[in-house]
Chains A and B, each alone.
Chain A
Amino acid sequence: MKKSVFLGTLTAAGVIAGAAAAATLDDVKARGKLNCGVTTGLVGFAAPDANGNWQGFDVGLCRAVAAAVLGDPDAVEFVPTTGKTRFTALASGEIDMLARNTTWTFSRDNDLKFEFTGINYYDGQGFMVPKELGVTSAKELDGATVCIQTGTTTELNLADFFRSNNMNYEPVPIETNAEAQQQYLAGACDVYTTDASGLAATRATFETPGDHVVLPEIISKEPLGPLVRHGDNEWGDIVRWTLNALIAAEELGISSANVADMAGSAGDNPEINRILGTEGNLGEMIGLEADWAVKAIQAGGNYGELFEKNIGENTPIGLSRGLNAQWTDGGLLYSPPFR
């Protein structure tokens, strides 16, 4: 009987305020914390550092949403999820939003009943091979052994690519990125395939990155974005427009350095004024404070700052903006207008 009591106290400690199907915003506010699903560890996107603080590009988005909703970028509970558990965690309400470089696909949107609220990284699947193999194109990979991280769309893309090019391959499914690298470096597979961003991040950690080349072919579209449950449109809007605010902020030149000044008084640009809440009532429309976007931008900077800090060219990951540049710079980032 004593033991069952212990279970009872445990239950009391463990039961957390649940998330009902509707009104995620109210739940988050009542809880005072945002539950954000991230990966168990992918450098640059989401990984705890030596002190246990989560860092990364996806993490930055979680913090921005928490800042917009709760006013505190640290009011986030990061819930590590695997490829297998991420969708259930979101569907069952364990997490409020999922920012885990998840590819936006038709079936995930419609069959699994999720709502993708935008795209924070345009990615595509690529191949990395040792330079000594002398391979210059993915079309030459007939008969190769390929390491894939299991539980992602990459497995399906890979099968499609080799089938449509009438080539054979030997797949080696691997659970974590770290183990995939180990296999690849030990020569247990000829090719490592994952999203191009992941390849760059992986290559950066090698002892001799120069011995490996990323092949030019990108065999799939991988639009990665945050997602929420179907059916709570208010909450979906908050996540969507927080992301848009970060993108628009870069376009309009609002950064974490100058956002406080700009928000101090209304300026010349009406759109900046509307985003920062010095003009109009956008905050009221979305159900947040007037300065919601200011806090979101202050949390980690605008989109460009997040990119440069976590995965940009000055980091070990060293990704260039590419498709993820603003539309004004020839990229695909294009935030709808704030009005």
Chain B
Amino acid sequence: MSLLGAGVRRDMEIRRYPVLVYALVSLASLVLQAWLPRIVGRYDWFDLPLVVTIYFALGRRSPIQGTIMGAGMGLFEDALSHHAIGVNGIAKTVVGFLAASVGIRIEVENPFIRLLLTFTLSLLSSTLYFFTYRFLLGLAIDWNWLTELFRAVGNSLIAVVLFSMLDRLQVRE
């Protein structure tokens, strides 16, 4: 893990993607997230919108863009559920911001780093979701941390594969 100066990395390694890629990848992640659980049943231990948020935030290295993207993805996920709109939004907003902030400072090309980062940010997202729901809103919620752990592992494994696929879509200058 190589630590670089924030300004240097931001200037040298900002990844750019066509706007269509942002739109289609985000939409595909939302659609697949809604559709795949019907195929895999109860083993839906993944959160594709979260993985995509982390990927673009790490690649763009812009906390503002990561924040906005995380908020958008989270709000869409909330809109498809029957829970309050904003719970996922808050969790993914923070995750997008942190992922972009971390991406400025550390090397994120290494698959192991990506796996570790995704695992950590997934657990953070689950924790934020729980605290927002349980303590900020004061609502009763049944929670199983083991499921969240499985989800973090699932996200990490998906991230390793998906990140390398999405890397090919970036604009090479």
B partners with A = no
- Write the residues of chain A forming the contact surface with B, with a CB cutoff of 8 angstroms: none
